């Protein structure tokens, strides 16, 4: 059983404690994607505890998602690719080909390799 910690006069549940500590730790803006990530992490922890008999049930089981990614508008058309290739230098064309073949994002391609 997970014990409650009290802070002053108001005891908090583990879920409330997680929410408070998550907010206090960072200055980034909360988003639906970050909420889904935090919830998934909590669900995995609860699943671990449930599998080992530490808790009776997993309260995070069978929950939905808040964030749905639709990146169709981010895809390059054949016309976009041809337009870039017609004016780009050989180095840019090579980078474009690597990105298209590997599925890597701009940030992945522009970041220096760890071995360089």
Please check whether residues 64 and 78 belong to one and the same domain.
no
Residues 58 and 20 in one domain: yes
Model confidence at 101, pLDDT cuts 50, 70, 90, reads: confident
Q: Is residue 89 assigned to a domain?
A: yes
- 4 within some domain: no
pLDDT number for residue 2? 53
pLDDT at 89 over 60: yes
3-class secondary-structure state, position 116: coil
Both tokens of 79, joined, read 């016309």
Q: State whether residue 89 is helix, strand or coil.
A: coil
pLDDT at 82: 93
d(CA 76, CA 82): 10
User: Are 29 and 58 within one domain?
Assistant: yes
Any domain includes 3: no
Exposure class string for 102-114: b at 16+ Cβ within 10 A, else e: eeeeeeeeeeeee
Note the pLDDT tens digit of each residue in 24-83. 555 567 788 888 888 888 888 999 999 999 999 888 887 777 766 666 666 788 898 899
The total number of structural domains that make up the chain = 2
Range of the domain at 39: 12-69
Say yes or no: 76 and 63 in one domain: no
Note if the pTM is more than 0.75: no
Place of tokens 């169709």: 72
Residues 57 and 78 in one domain: no
């Amino acid at each position: 059983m997970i014990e409650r910690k009290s802070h002053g006069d108001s005891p908090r549940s583990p879920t409330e404690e997680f929410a408070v500590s998550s907010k206090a730790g960072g200055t980034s803006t909360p988003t639906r994607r970050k909420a889904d990530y935090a919830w998934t992490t909590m669900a995995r922890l609860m699943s671990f505890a449930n599998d080992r008999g530490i808790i009776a049930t997993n309260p995070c089981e069978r929950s939905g998602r808040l964030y749905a990614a639709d990146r169709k508008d981010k895809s390059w058309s054949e016309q976009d690719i041809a337009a870039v290739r017609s004016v780009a230098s050989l180095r840019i064309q090579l980078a474009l080909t690597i990105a298209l073949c590997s599925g890597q994002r701009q940030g992945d391609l522009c970041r220096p390799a760890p071995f360089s």
